[in-house]
A and B are shown apart, each in its own frame.
Chain A
C-alpha cells in the first residue's frame, strides 16, 4: 500500500521540520537537559584544529572507499569515547595538543595525495587521532549536572562533522571535485601545521 511508505515518510519529514525550528525556541527545556546537550554539542565545534581533523577523516574515507568509508563512522566515535575515558582517568599521554595538530597534518596530507594505504594502516592513523581527540575533551569535560545529554551532544556533534566530511568528499566523483577535495586536504594540512608550529 502506498499509504505505508508515504505516510511514514511524510510524518518523519514533518517532525524533522518542526524540530529544525527548535533552536528558535531557545529558552525551552533548560531544566530538562537542553543546556547540557547544547554545551556538549558546541564543545567539539569550538576547537578549529579538532574540526578540520574530523572533516579530514570524512574526506579521506571517500578516497579509501568501501569498506573503510562505512567502517570509519562506526568505529571512530567508539575509539574517541575510549580516548575520553583515558582523559578522565588521567592516563598519562604525551603532548596531546601536539598529537592533535600532527594528526591534522598527516590526515590532510593523506587526503591531498589521495593516499590509499591498507586498512590497518589507515585505522591506526585515524585511531591515534581519535584517541588524542577524545583525550583532550575527556580531560576538560566540565562538571555538568546533566552529563548524559552533554556526552550525547558531544558525540553527535563529532559524528556530524565526520559525516560532513564524507558528504563533501563525494564531490570527488567528478574530476573537478576531486581536485577540490585534494585542495581541501592541503588546506587542512597547512592549518594543522600552523597549529603544530604555534603560529596559530
Chain B
C-alpha cells in the first residue's frame, strides 16, 4: 500500500519531468523544416575523407549553405554536383593532415535558414558518429569517438519527433480510439497497428518493396476518413467489420502507414551501414511517441467523461472533425497526383 502511495505522490514530480523531456525534444525544433540536409564523412585512409553533402531543394531553390573546412584541408577531388529528385548531392574528396578528429566544420549560411543538418562520420576502423546540427549553432566538431548508443539516441529522438509532428498518423490513432471501447481490444488494436507499420517500414527501408510516395500519402488520408466515418456509424448503433474487429483494420492500414514512415526515413538519407540499428530505434521512437499520445488522450477523455458526462457528443464531434480534416487532405493529395 505504501509503495502505491509513494508512486502516487511521485506522479506530480514525474509529470513535470516527462513533459520537460518531451519539451526538450520539441522546443528546439520548433518551426523547423521537416527535411534536413545530410552530411556524410567517410574516412578512406589516414588523412583522406570522402564527403557527401546532400541538401534539400526548397521550392526548386538549392539551400544557400556552403561547407567550410579547417584551413589546412585541401581538395583531392573538387566538389561535383548531381541532381536528385528534390535534392542535390555533392561529392568531394579532401585531405586533412593529422585527420579530422577534433576539428570543426562550419556551415556558412545555415544560420539564415531553418534547416537542420544530420551529420554522420565513419572512420577507417568502422566506428561511427552522428549528430544533428541546428541553425542556432551552425558548426560541427568532429568527435574523437562516439558510441553506438548516441547514434541510436539520435534516431530515437527523430522517431519521436516524426510521430508527434505527423498529424495524419496521430489522427488515425485518435479515430481508432473512438471505436475501441475496451482495454483488451485497445491492446490488440495498437499491437496490430504497430506490427503492421513495423513490417512495411522495414521492407521499404531495406528496399525490398517500394511504393511511390504520393499515392501512399493519399491512401493514408483516405484511411483516416474511413475510420472516422466508421466511428460515426458506431455512434448510430450500426455495426461493421471495423467496429467488430478494429485490429484487423488497424493491421491493414498499419501496413500503409509504415510506407509513410519509410518515406520520412528515406528523407533523412540514411546510409546502408547501420540501417538495422537506425531503423530499430526510429521505430522504437515512433512507438514511444504513439503510446504517449494514446496515454494523454485516454487521460483527457476519461476526465472529460467523468466530469462532464458528455462522452457521446464529444466522440461524435471528434469523429466529424477528424473526418473533415482527412477528407480535405484526401482531396488535396489526389489533386496533386492527378492535376499537380
Direct touch of chains A and B (CB < 8 A):
yes
A interface list, Cβ under 8 A from B = 1-4, 6-8, 10-12, 14-16, 18-23, 25, 27-29, 32-34, 37, 152, 156, 159-160, 163-164, 166-167, 170
Give the docked Cα–Cα distance between A37 and B14 (Å): 12
Q: A4-B302, A15-B295, A29-B24 are in contact. Are A160 and B10 (CB under 8 A)?
A: yes
Q: For B183, list chain A residues within 8 Å (CB).
A: 2-3, 6-7, 10
Q: For residue B7, which residue of chain A has the nearest CB?
A: A16
Which chain B residues numbered 291 to 319 have a C-beta less than 8 Å away from chain A? 291-292, 294-296, 298-299, 302, 305-306
Give the docked Cα–Cα distance between A20 and B10 (Å): 10
Given contacts A3-B183, A11-B296, A19-B21, 5 further A-B contacts (CB under 8 A): A7-B298, A14-B291, A32-B24, A34-B20, A37-B16
Q: C-beta contact mask, B194-225 vs A, less than 8 Å → 1, else 0? A: 00000000000000000000000000000000
B77 lies within 8 A of chain A by Cβ: no
Q: Are B302 and A29 in contact (CB under 8 A)?
A: no
Q: A10-B298, A19-B15, A22-B20 are in contact. Are A3 and B182 (CB under 8 A)?
A: yes
Q: Are B21 and A22 in contact (CB under 8 A)?
A: yes
Chain B interface mostly: helix
Q: Are B292 and A18 in contact (CB under 8 A)?
A: yes
Give the docked Cα–Cα distance between A32 and B17 (Å): 11
CB distance from A122 to the nearest CB of B (A): 20
Q: Are B2 and A28 in contact (CB under 8 A)?
A: no
Q: For B13, list chain A residues within 8 Å (CB).
A: 152, 156
| Contact pick for A28, options B11, B14, B21, B295, CB 8 Å | B21
Q: Are B18 and A18 in contact (CB under 8 A)?
A: yes
B6 lies within 8 A of chain A by Cβ: yes
Q: For A15, list chain B residues within 8 Å (CB).
A: 14-15, 18, 292, 295-296, 299
Q: Which of A2, A12, A20, A160 counts the most chain B CB atoms within 10 A?
A: A12
Q: C-beta contact mask, B170-197 vs A, less than 8 Å → 1, else 0? A: 0000000000011100100000000000
CB distance from B35 to the nearest CB of A (A): 24
Give the docked Cα–Cα distance between A19 and B15 (Å): 7
Q: For B2, list chain A residues within 8 Å (CB).
A: 163, 166-167, 170
Q: For residue A4, which residue of chain B has the nearest CB?
A: B302
Q: For residue B20, which residue of chain A has the nearest CB?
A: A29
| A and B contact pairs by CB, cutoff 8 A, 18 listed | A1-B181, A3-B181, A3-B182, A4-B302, A12-B299, A14-B292, A15-B299, A18-B21, A18-B292, A19-B15, A22-B18, A22-B20, A28-B23, A29-B23, A33-B20, A37-B16, A160-B6, A160-B9
| Contact pick for B14, options A1, A19, A27, A170, CB 8 Å | A19
Give the docked Cα–Cα distance between A14 and B24 (Å): 19
CB distance from B25 to the nearest CB of A (A): 7
Q: Are B288 and A28 in contact (CB under 8 A)?
A: no
B interface list, Cβ under 8 A from A = 2-3, 5-7, 9-18, 20-21, 23-25, 27, 181-183, 186, 288, 291-292, 294-296, 298-299, 302, 305-306
| Contact pick for B299, options A11, A21, A164, CB 8 Å | A11
CB distance from A62 to the nearest CB of B (A): 9
Give the docked Cα–Cα distance between A170 and B4 (Å): 13
CB distance from A50 to the nearest CB of B (A): 19
Q: For A164, list chain B residues within 8 Å (CB).
A: 6
Q: Are A167 and B302 in contact (CB under 8 A)?
A: no
Give the docked Cα–Cα distance between A34 and B17 (Å): 8
Q: Are A8 and B292 in contact (CB under 8 A)?
A: no
Give the docked Cα–Cα distance between A33 and B13 (Å): 13
Q: Are B182 and A2 in contact (CB under 8 A)?
A: yes
Q: Are B24 and A28 in contact (CB under 8 A)?
A: yes
CB distance from B54 to the nearest CB of A (A): 27
Q: For residue B17, which residue of chain A has the nearest CB?
A: A22
Give the docked Cα–Cα distance between A159 and B292 (Å): 28
Give the docked Cα–Cα distance between A167 and B186 (Å): 35
Give the docked Cα–Cα distance between A20 and B2 (Å): 19
Q: For B186, list chain A residues within 8 Å (CB).
A: 7
Q: For A8, list chain B residues within 8 Å (CB).
A: 298-299, 302
CB distance from B280 to the nearest CB of A (A): 17
Give the docked Cα–Cα distance between A19 and B14 (Å): 6
Q: For B25, list chain A residues within 8 Å (CB).
A: 28
Q: A4-B302, A7-B302 are in contact. Are A27 and B11 (CB under 8 A)?
A: no
Q: A3-B182, A18-B18 are in contact. Are A163 and B302 (CB under 8 A)?
A: no
Q: Are B20 and A32 in contact (CB under 8 A)?
A: yes
Q: A15-B15, A163-B2 are in contact. Are A27 and B24 (CB under 8 A)?
A: yes
CB distance from B181 to the nearest CB of A (A): 6
Give the docked Cα–Cα distance between A37 and B9 (Å): 17
CB distance from A11 to the nearest CB of B (A): 4
Q: Are B18 and A11 in contact (CB under 8 A)?
A: no
Give the docked Cα–Cα distance between A46 and B181 (Å): 49
